[in-house]
Amino acid sequence: MARILVGIMGDAGGHISQALAVANEMPHHEFLFIGGGRVLDLRRTGYSVEEVPVPSTYYVNNRVDVSGTVRNALKVLFDRKRTVERVVQIVKDFDPALILTAYEYFAPLAARKLGIPCVSIDNHHFLNKCVYEVPKEQTVGRLMYALPLRWMFSNADYYFISAFYKLPPTNPAETEVFPPVLRRAVLEVERANEDHVLVYQTSPTFLRLVTALKQMPHKIIVYGLGERPSSKNIEYKAPSTSGFLNDLATCRYLITNGGHNAIAEALYFGKPVFSFPIHFAYEQFFNAFMVASLGYGNYSLVANPDAAVFKEFEARLDEFRTRIAHGEFYGNVKLAARLEELIGRRKG
């Protein structure tokens, strides 16, 4: 048994899901989580959590609210020295054999001060740790994403990239790419094929999408736009892990933004994906781009979509499903095995 400390960026459910999935895959070890926002909810699952400030991302009109995000980051970083000192003390008291970071800022800094190995587990580090090509028109978004990634979130010793795509690392000695790390609840749901289309939105600001959804001939189930009365063919649902996963496992296809976890879970269930990546969130664009490149679905950058774009997409559903059937979308066991190797090396 070893102790493992995990820092989590708590404003995005995907980071929490990945970190919890890793912990569930390694139940013989003791875990301590640090972070803010929704990370505190992990206390309900029986894990110990220490609250630490996190730089959060804000959204408006299906775009990143750059000014709001920067203001929040500056507020957190203004108190950086004191927070690092506190995290260092938390680490000393817990005495972990390994530190993991799920896109969290302070844990890697504490790990470096104390000489403890730190592993970054996320899909974001494809940007500066892998070889890839994307359209040049995304240059501005890429730079906006690259600067904070390199400065704030690239302080680990190893980078384990969990992704539905396979890219070659620039430095295989420090970087490895694994199939997606999926939360346990996903593995417990049975897939089926029903007639509804599922919509999941990271931020409840993309209301123009609703106009197009009303023009579609299918039943639409929507998560992420808030609870509201059902209208015409649309049913809005409140947040629910079990409800969402059951609807995802049985849908015709998923309409979502560009968050990696929702896409990876859909692909695990064999469901094509139509992505509307949030503007200026380059990681979301890249995920959407890879969905289209690999033949798993398609994406659009339009701010005011109409139903025609979904009609064209539906004509290719069989093609998408065939491509998805040949993919690998479950990497929990492989990634946990590599973490065990690092722990063994540390103990040895």
Classified by CATH at the fold level, domain 3-181+331-347 comes out as: Rossmann fold (3.40.50)
Alpha carbons 110 and 6: distance in angstroms, whole number: 12
According to the model, what pLDDT value does residue 1 have?
87
Fold agreement between 3-181+331-347 and 185-324: yes
Q: In what order do the strands lie in the sheet with 175-178?
A: 48-51, 30-35, 3-8, 98-102, 118-122, 158-162, 175-178
CATH of domain 185-324: 3.40.50.2000
Q: Is the Cβ–Cβ distance between 289 and 132 less than 8 Å?
A: no
pTM assigned to the model:
0.88
* Domain locations along the chain: 3-181+331-347, 185-324
Per residue in 156-190, pLDDT (tens digit) is 999 999 999 999 999 999 999 999 999 999 999 99
According to the model, what pLDDT value does residue 141 have?
74
CA angle at residue 125 from 91 to 10, to 5 degrees?
50
Per residue in 264-299, pLDDT (tens digit) is 999 999 999 999 998 878 889 999 999 999 999 999
In which band, very low, low, confident or very high, does the pLDDT at 134 lie, cut at 50, 70 and 90?
confident
According to the model, what pLDDT value does residue 156 have?
94
Check pLDDT > 90 for residue 223.
yes
For the chain, give the percent of residues with pLDDT over 70: 91
In which band, very low, low, confident or very high, does the pLDDT at 9 lie, cut at 50, 70 and 90?
confident
